[in-house]
Amino acid sequence: MLTQNLGYPRIGSQRELKKVCEGYWAGKTGHKNVLTVGKNIRHDNWLMQKEAGIDLIPSNDFSYYDHVLDHSLMFGAIPKRYNEVILKQGKEELDLYFAMARGYQKDGLDVVAMEMTKWFDTNYHYIVPEFYKDQSFRLFSAKITNEFYEAKQLGIITKPVLIGPVTYLLLGKEKESGFEKIDLLKNLLPVYEEILTKLQDLGAERIQFDEPFLSLDLTEKEQQAYRDAYKQLRKIFPRLKFILTTYFEKLGSNAELVASLPVDALHIDLVRAPQQLNEVLELLLPTKTILSLGLVDGRNIWKNDFETSLNIIKKAKDRLGDDRVWIAPSCSLIHSPVDLRNEHNAETLTPEIKQWLAFARQKVTEVASLKSLASDSPGVRAQYQLAENQYANGLRKTSSLIHNNAVKERVKKITESDWQRLSAFTLRKQKQQALLNLPLYTTTTIGSFPQTAEVRSWRAQLKKGAITQAQYDLYIARETEKTVKWQEEIDIDVLVHGEFERNDMVEYFGEQLQGFTFTQNGWVQSYGSRCVKPPIIYGDVSRPDAMTVRWSAYAQSLTDKWMKGMLTGPVTILQWSFVRNDQPRSETCSQIALAIRDEVVDLEAAGIKIIQIDEPAIREGLPLRQADWAAYLDWAVKAFRISASGVQDDTQIHTHMCYSEFNDIIQNIADMDADVITIETSRSQMELLDVFADFKYPNEIGPGVYDIHSPRVPNRDEMTYLLKKARAVIPDAQLWVNPDCGLKTRGWDETKLALTEMVAAAKEMRATV
Ligand code: GLN
Ligand code: ZN
């Protein structure tokens, strides 16, 4: 029995990689420095895994920005627009690489970056490979062989990790018509052959092929591509051991295909899909394939439950024999924070909670411990670890920190009336119109106003104790007042308070809810140098006190116009946190929904009659397999409705979503029954609105009229142009006017100019109704 790891965080335990890359981009440090930091991180990671007892240690899991982009560079899939960058820069591969990731604006060149998108259902973003009709591939970057050699110098024969050829192609995007990306396989395979030859010559014995698409729905053609690819590679490399990894979902309908592929080992995710074990064991029984059990959760922060894992290992061993079973994390550990030992704040992460957790460094040890414990004669140390594991997990099951019977009871008592508004939308609309008296093409914003360095510095000072809470509150109050007055001045119809008191739209709520806690250093890579620190939901969620009423009511007191209350929705809070694994996600979501509902009701009681519940993450929560969508959408939509339905008919509920590809879920969006939905549409020139039009979406819509991701100030005509496009498909009486998203990342100057133009555009529209 062997242990393997699929990938280790590359940001460094103190985010060293982020710091050096950002320094390099700012021209503050040289490229050699970047390479050195990278090398040190790789060395630390390899040696640590070796010491911890991992038998098969990955290489090429490291990346300076993104591992998918590494592959595009390795395969020479470099869009032509970067040719000039290559020429300008001579032969500095790193500059070309960063240009592809981030665009290039220097020395008179202006080249846009490649597109970025989410890595399956994680919060990691990868750089999308671009494919053209005449796409050819050639070995370009030698990173994978260099890193294999680097580890070999340290005395470690690593297992190089490659994204498998089919997954690589499926991750990409056809940038012109006339071909299908999957047909590029025949051009791509020769590069794999060249790489494998080189690795084999250097002494590599095993190759890890990551093929997560094997856990998704595949077409017949894609299935065939899998057969062809692995048959061909197998034929050329009869001696190299192929490890095929799948994760994030069950093999499901692909199980027979996968079992038939000529590989030496197959890895499956038993955290996400434990139910697939029996079927896979049966399928592998007649073969010689090794089964790698993905037992330690690579996507969450909880300690493994050794007892459960040991039962699974035993079952697999009984069926396949000792030498055909490996132990591993469920997926690459890049989705976990790095090291629990860097958590020192006992006030937020109390010793009681901390003992339930394992970050990447601890997960590696868990894998090794499981191997010892599953052996015939576990050592004393392993037995101690088992006892410790059972003790901690035992406490977690019964801890009063986690269990709140009042919350559990309340969730049980949820009935249909809790997710129904009092009346249907048509009647609500009349009542809201009578009360709110808003003009056609009502103008509003999505919530946040610029979070300037100054605003952020107040928070930092408060944290350090350099200013008192009272001083901080005064600063926030002044900034809020300034923002309210300014919105009045330019004549926006529905005002917001600006969200200056919030660090982050999830953290702000998590900090005030029971059942949440936070880390100091629990950073996880989101994209490139960008890391996030998700809150941890460890227990039943409840709301001890009102969370936003104070600032919303204060802002309302400053104006006679309507002030919009601003909340984050239950699905988004769930989606952007580490979630407990001892109950279904849907259950946790219902608890959050009730807490938000109470906040909505309190806001209403405080005189806030327009309340926005942001749900930008509802779409990204969609399961990977379409068959599972309905169940998810059912509880997710319900959770939103629970949070929104405690109010009177004349209280107007808004929701907001940033990404607006709603084609396949428009019915569910309509089922959310928000009185007003604001969405991102400007970058698609209102095209994303068509699905609402085709559906005859009945409620009100605010299609974003300008892109807030860029500092560029749009002019009035651009916005009226977009609004007229909107008017062509949606009736006037349904349309609102607002930017695409919050203005948090923008500066004041451009914000003022843009919003002034936006109000003028709305007035122009009104005048022509
Ligand atoms: N209300 C939030 C803001 O304006 C919404 C952010 C989001 O959609 N991601 O910042
Ligand atoms: Zn948004």
Ligand 1 neighbourhood includes 679 CB (under 6 angstroms) = no
647 close to 425: Cβ distance less than 8 angstroms: no
C-alpha to C-alpha distance for 419 and 640, rounded to whole angstroms: 8
Ligand 1 neighbourhood includes 555 CB (under 6 angstroms) = no
Q: What is the pLDDT of residue 105?
A: 82
Which residue, chain included where needed, has tokens 């991102």?
680
Q: Which two tokens stand for residue 255?
A: 């199980």
SS3 per-residue string spanning 315-349: HHHHHHCHHHEEEEECCCHHHCCCCHHHCCCCCCC
Ligand 1 neighbourhood includes 68 CB (under 6 angstroms) = no
447 CA distance to ligand 1 middle (Å): 6
639 CA distance to ligand 2 middle (Å): 19
Q: Known binding site for Zn(2+): residues?
A: 656, 658, 680, 741
Per-residue pLDDT tens over the stretch 152-210: 999 999 999 999 999 999 999 999 999 999 999 999 999 999 999 999 999 999 999 99
DSSP per-residue codes, 145-156: HHHHHHHHHTT-
Q: What is the pLDDT of residue 90?
A: 63
Per-residue pLDDT tens over the stretch 445-463: 999 999 999 999 999 999 9
Give the torsion through C-alpha atoms of 573, 499, 418, 601, to 10 deg.
140
Q: How many CB atoms lie within 10 A of CB 504?
A: 17
- H-state helical runs in 399-532: 405-412, 425-436, 453-464, 469-490, 507-510
Q: What is the pLDDT of residue 658?
A: 87
Q: Whose CA is nearest to atom 10 of ligand 1?
A: 742
Confidence of residue 366 (pLDDT cuts 50, 70, 90): very high
HSE (side-chain half, CA atoms, 13 Å) at 583: 18
**Based on the number of CB atoms within 10 Å of its own CB, is 32 exposed (0-12), middle (13-18) or buried (19 or more)?**
exposed
Ligand 1 neighbourhood includes 446 CB (under 6 angstroms) = yes
Ligand sitting nearest the alpha carbon of 503: 1
Q: Whose CA is nearest to atom 5 of ligand 1?
A: 742
Q: Which of 588, 590, 567 is nearest to 577 (CA)?
A: 588
Q: Which two tokens stand for residue 517?
A: 């806690």
Ligand 1 neighbourhood includes 658 CB (under 6 angstroms) = yes
Of 80-94, 233-247, 391-405, 722-736, the least confident = 80-94
Looking only at the bridges linking them, the beta strands covering 700-703 and 676-679 are parallel
Triad 1, 293, 331: Cα angle to 5°: 125
Per-residue pLDDT tens over the stretch 111-152: 889 999 999 999 999 999 999 998 999 999 999 999 999 999
Ligand 1 neighbourhood includes 496 CB (under 6 angstroms) = no
Q: Which DSSP symbol is given to 112?
A: P
Ligand 1 neighbourhood includes 429 CB (under 6 angstroms) = no
Per-residue pLDDT tens over the stretch 266-293: 999 999 999 999 999 999 999 999 999 9
Tell me how far CA of residue 288 lies from CA of 218, 321, 605, in angstroms: 25, 11, 67
Q: Known binding site: residues?
A: 15-18, 118, 446-448, 499, 530-531, 576, 614, 620, 656, 658, 680, 741
C-alpha to C-alpha distance for 60 and 224, rounded to whole angstroms: 27
Q: Which of 264, 268, 242 is nearest to 255 (CA)?
A: 268
Q: Whose CA is nearest to atom 3 of ligand 1?
A: 742
Can you tell me the mean pLDDT for 594-608?
98
Q: Known binding site for 5-methyltetrahydropteroyltri-L-glutamate: residues?
A: 15-18, 118, 530-531, 576, 620
Can you tell me the mean pLDDT for 67-79?
98
Ligand 1 neighbourhood includes 744 CB (under 6 angstroms) = yes
Angle at which helices 31-52 and 360-374 cross, to 10°: 30
Ligand 1 neighbourhood includes 708 CB (under 6 angstroms) = no
659 CA distance to ligand 1 middle (Å): 12
228 close to 245: Cβ distance less than 8 angstroms: no
Q: Which two tokens stand for residue 192?
A: 């794999």
Can you tell me the mean pLDDT for 614-621?
94
Establish whether 67 is a catalytic residue: no
Q: Whose CA is nearest to atom 6 of ligand 1?
A: 742
Residue 659 has pLDDT above 90, yes or no: no
Angle at which helices 67-74 and 93-102 cross, to 10°: 120
Of ligand 1's atoms, which has the minimum distance to the CA of residue 656? 8
C-alpha to C-alpha distance for 6 and 161, rounded to whole angstroms: 8
Q: Which of 324, 320, 326, 330 is nearest to 371 (CA)?
A: 326
Q: Which DSSP symbol is given to 630?
A: H
Q: Which two tokens stand for residue 681?
A: 């549409």
Confidence of residue 88 (pLDDT cuts 50, 70, 90): confident
**Based on the number of CB atoms within 10 Å of its own CB, is 134 exposed (0-12), middle (13-18) or buried (19 or more)?**
exposed
Among 445, 446, 494, 680, say which to mutate for ligand 1: greatest number of ligand atoms within 8 Å of CB. Answer: 446
Residue 751 has pLDDT above 90, yes or no: yes
620 CA distance to ligand 1 middle (Å): 16
57 close to 152: Cβ distance less than 8 angstroms: no
Please pick, among 31, 43, 654, 709, the residue that the annotation labels catalytic: 709
> Can you tell me whether residue 384 is helix, strand or coil?
helix
Residue 67 has pLDDT above 70, yes or no: yes
Q: What is the mean pLDDT of the chain?
A: 96
Q: What is the pLDDT of residue 712?
A: 86
Backbone angles phi, psi at 526, to 5 degrees: -105, -55
C-alpha to C-alpha distance for 364 and 1, rounded to whole angstroms: 16
371 close to 1: Cβ distance less than 8 angstroms: yes
Backbone angles phi, psi at 480, to 5 degrees: -65, -45
Diameter of the chain by CA atoms?
A: 84
Q: What is the pLDDT of residue 109?
A: 84
Q: What is the pLDDT of residue 187?
A: 98
Per-residue pLDDT tens over the stretch 11-59: 999 999 999 999 999 999 999 999 999 999 999 999 999 999 999 999 9
Ligand sitting nearest the alpha carbon of 575: 1
SS3 per-residue string spanning 454-470: HHHHHHHHHHHCCCCHH
160 close to 207: Cβ distance less than 8 angstroms: yes
Q: Whose CA is nearest to atom 4 of ligand 1?
A: 742
Can you tell me the mean pLDDT for 294-306?
98
Q: Which of 607, 672, 669 is nearest to 644 (CA)?
A: 672
Beta strand residue intervals within 41-124, DSSP E: 58-59, 104-106, 109-111, 116-118
Helix, strand, coil percentages (3-state) for the chain, rounded to 5, are 50, 15, 35
Ligand sitting nearest the alpha carbon of 708: 2
C-alpha to C-alpha distance for 156 and 149, rounded to whole angstroms: 9
**How far is residue 184 CA from its own chain's centroid?**
29
Query: b or e along 527-539 (b: 16 or more beta carbons within 10 Å of the residue's beta carbon)?
Result: bbbebbbbbbbbb
C-alpha to C-alpha distance for 272 and 296, rounded to whole angstroms: 10
Per-residue pLDDT tens over the stretch 690-709: 999 999 999 999 999 999 98
Among 444, 499, 552, say which to mutate for ligand 1: greatest number of ligand atoms within 8 Å of CB. Answer: 499
C-alpha to C-alpha distance for 357 and 300, rounded to whole angstroms: 9
Q: What is the pLDDT of residue 91?
A: 61
Backbone angles phi, psi at 266, to 5 degrees: -125, 130
Q: What is the pLDDT of residue 190?
A: 98
C-alpha to C-alpha distance for 107 and 87, rounded to whole angstroms: 12
Ligand 1 neighbourhood includes 7 CB (under 6 angstroms) = no
Ligand 1 neighbourhood includes 613 CB (under 6 angstroms) = no
Instruction: Please report the ipTM that was assigned to this predicted complex.
Output: 0.99
> Can you tell me whether residue 526 is helix, strand or coil?
strand
Among 505, 707, 709, say which to mutate for ligand 1: greatest number of ligand atoms within 8 Å of CB. Answer: 505
Q: Known binding site for L-methionine: residues?
A: 446-448, 499, 614
705 CA distance to ligand 2 middle (Å): 13
Name the pTM for this structure: 0.95
451 CA distance to ligand 1 middle (Å): 12
